[in-house]
Structures are given as structure tokens and as C-alpha cells.
Amino acid sequence: MQYSARVLCLLGMFLVSLATAKERRPNVLFILTDDQAPWALGVSGHPNADTPHLDKLFKQGMYLKKSYVVTPVCSPSRTSLMTSRYGSELGITDWIHPRNEPQLGLPPKTVTWTEAMQAAGYRTGLVGKWHLGVPDKFHPTKTGFDYFMGFRTGGTVVINPTLEVNGKNAKTEGYTYDVLTDDAMEFIKRNQKKEFLLCLHYRAPHTRWLPQPESDRKPFENLDPQIPNPDYPNLDVARVKRMTREYLGSVKGVDRNVGRVIKLLDELKLAKDTIVVFTSDHGYSMGHNGIWHKGNGHWVLKPPPAVTNKNIPRNQRPNMYDNSIFVPTAVRWPGHIAPGTVLDLPVSNLDWYPTLLKLAGIKLPKGETIRGRDISGTLLGEKTDWPDVCYGEYSTHHQSKTHMRMIRTTNWKLVRDFLNPERDELFDLKNDPAESRNVIAAKKNAAVVKELHGMIVARMREVKDPVLDRVK
């Protein structure tokens, strides 16, 4: 009988796991939110956020202050999380549209980190959002999960959602983040005596934000919230304030439910045996730079700017702003990760693949390309260092058409749009951290642009970026 390289690879990882099976390996609880702004937590300094459970989680472990995603929109970001590869390498560069792109999804031949953990004997489950392909060939249970409860598409309703339960769609009752949390807690209870991996993927605080339980909504009903750019020209301040109130209520709902899961781990005496990761698929703007939403941002101005580019509709503002690419991230593992520690070096969603496998004592799959950095030593207290450089990509094709590539250093960020070069941007982060002034036209910055452009092209060549043919 002949076996595929993929099967042999996974079998090898399983045999390795048998050798170390006597020593209990850590459970992994990976909590991924959707559209979670890095600024919308109490621990990050927002004066109106009500997030006591998340604030506590961030203080109980390591706060990764410079955590970013390589693409600031759902599907390609999740692709990078699952595979440690860029979306451009796997044909997923924008969010997957279930009607327009019904056959697009995570390539089945790619070995994910969840498959590696499953092959190593972990009981694995995904509760919540998938958004990496709707057809059965892309189903989570074919990508490393023994159990799936949730929805395959990018969205669902806020209350009484229809979810896939035990392989069949069923109408559920309750607010969606509460329903998902209930199921996640049952998964933990069922598997508490085993080594488990649970991915809990909330859709919140993705819009729509209403309706909300009174406990989540009421603290913000009469709030006059802080907004970042109240003097931005033509900003629809009233709308930004209304959306901020609704958004903070949704964030509070996430916080409340994360608190429920963490409490269960503590009650079951699983805290010391469980690595908890909290992060998001991308960031979010709420009036920042005149926009709301994420990498495929929308102007929130009255009126929006006039159309100057045939590829960019009037209400759109595709971007690679920090608020879109950075995400709030913390890791808790009592007895292993020192509480109250802060990491101010860049880490990306590419890094979770090699890091979590290392912490679980599982070897990387042979033959798989891994773009991420193993940061396990840093999490465990080793003194490490690496360049303060972030690279990102985003090619849009739904609401707009772009080919953005970004490099960010301590002091500078260059964003190149190889489809629309008039949109190229250079930000002096040292003097303008809010990215309010594009200084790419200044002659004094020509050398900086040249250097950063070279770094972008080098990374594009490394990953065989299909947009390379547009580089001049």
C-alpha cells in the first residue's frame, strides 16, 4: 500500500508523540476574536473600555504589545495563522466571498499546526468562526479538528444563530458569543482528563454589534466616548460616537465570556496545565484617520472624498494602518510564563505555528514551509532579540482593487500599492505615530524610501509573491 507524503508526515509526528506520551503536555486554549481593536481594552489604556477579565488575563501572563497580523482582513489572516504562510502563497489575499468564490479555501494539502497537534494525540476542537472555505473539502474536521461547532462562512447573526452542531445546521437560542462559550466550556469538561487543543473563534466584536445583552449594553448607553480624531476634517462625529458605544458593548460581551472560560479552567484545576492565547485576526479603526473598519476601511466623513482612482470606490479607504495590522495579544501559562511581563518586540500571526508546537513538544512537519518565528523561548523567559521589522501584504479584489505591500521599522513605515502607485505612503512613526501625514514626496526621505522598498522586494522574492511582475 502506498501512502502520500502528507500521511507519512502526520504518522511520523504521531510516532514521535508516543515516545513522550508519559509526560503530560500542556493543553492549548486559543481564543481568537474578530475585528478586535488593540486600543479597546482597559489594559491598553482606553478610558471607556470595561474589560476586567481580559485586563486580568493580560496581567497574569505576557502582554505582547507589538503583535501584528500580516494581512488586515479575515480570511488571509486566518490562513497565515493556520499555516505560517502568507495568503499570497496560498491564493487567499482577501476575505473569502461565499457566493462569488464558492470553491476558494485553505488548500487541503497544506499541513496546519492543528493537524500536527491532532496527529500527536491531542483532542482538538474548533468552536466558532472558520471563514477558510465553505465546501466540505475545506471543512475544519479535515484541517486538524476532531470536533467543530460554529459556522463555515465569515458571518452570522448576533442572536439566535443557525450553527453547525454535530455536522448538521441547527437554530440555537441566545446571543452568539454566549452560545459559543457554552459549547467551548462543554468541550473542556468532556476532555479535561486528556490533552486538548481548543480554538475558540468568536465573531465579536465584528459588526453588527446590536442587539446586546443589557449587561453588555447598559454601561455605554449614555456614554460620551473618547474618539481619536474629533477634529479630522468632515468627520461624522455623531456616528463615530454611536458606533463606539456599540463596539465597546460588544467588546464587553467578549470580555465577559472569556472570563467564563478562564474561570472554568481555574475551577477544574487546569490553569497550570493550559496555555491560554488571546489574540485577534486583525485590528480595527473607529474614526482613526477618518475611517472605520479594518484593512478594507470605510470613510466615516460627511461627505466622503471624491473619487480619484477607478479602483477605489468613494466610500473605501484600503489601508495598512497600525490600527488595522496590530492586535491585542496575551499568553498565560502559570508556572511557566512569568505574570506581568511585557514583550515589545514584533511578533506576527505566522509565529503561533512553530511556537505552540514547540511548547507542546511536537516537531514541525517535515517538508512544510514555515515563515513564522518560534518565540517559545521568549515566552518562557529567555533573553532574546530580533529586528524591529514588520512585513505585511494585502491585495484587495472585492470592494476595491489594490496590491499593497508594507514594511514597518521602529521609525518608518512604507506602504506600496503596486496596482495604484499614486497611493504609496511613507509615515515617520517617530514624529507621527498616528500616521496622519504621508511624507513620501519629501526629497529628504528618498534614501529611506529606497531602503524600505528594497526590504519589501526582498520579502516578495522570498515568498515568490505573484505581484512581483508589477515591481519597477
**Domains plus CATH for the chain?**
5-383 (3.40.720.10), 403-472 (3.30.1120.10)
Distance CA 275, CA 360 (A): 9
Question: Using CB atoms within 10 A of its CB, is residue 145 exposed (0-12), middle (13-18) or buried (19+)?
Answer: buried
pLDDT tens per residue across span 88-133: 999 999 999 999 999 999 999 999 999 999 999 999 999 999 999 9
Section 352-359 average pLDDT: 98
Rounded CA separation 448/468 (Å): 21
Give the model's confidence band at 52: pLDDT under 50 very low, under 70 low, under 90 confident, else very high.
very high
Looking up cell 507621527, which residue turns up?
A: 432
179 pLDDT band, cuts 50/70/90, is: very high
Q: Are 248 and 225 in contact (CB under 8 A)?
A: yes
Closest alpha carbon to 67 in 335, 384, 332, 375:
375
The length of the chain in residues reads 472
| pLDDT at 167 (0 to 100) | 87
Cell numbers at 142, concatenated: 479535515
pLDDT at residue 19, rounded to an integer: 39
pLDDT of residue 1: 34
pLDDT given at position 166 = 81
* Whole-angstrom distance, CA of residue 425 vs CA of residue 413: 8
How high is the pLDDT of residue 11? 52
> How far from the centroid of its chain's Cα atoms is residue 268's Cα?
28
Beta strand pairing status for 168-171 and 162-165? antiparallel
The mean predicted confidence, pLDDT, of the chain is: 94
Neighbouring C-beta atoms of residue 23, cutoff 10 Å: 6
pLDDT tops 50 at residue 17: no
Q: What is the DSSP string of 387-399?
A: ---EEEEE---SS
Q: What is the pTM of this model?
A: 0.94
- Lookup: cell for 336: 511557566
Predicted local confidence at residue 23, as pLDDT = 74
Yes or no: say if 13 and 365 are a contact pair by the CB < 8 Å rule.
Answer: yes
Only one residue has cell 523567559, namely 381
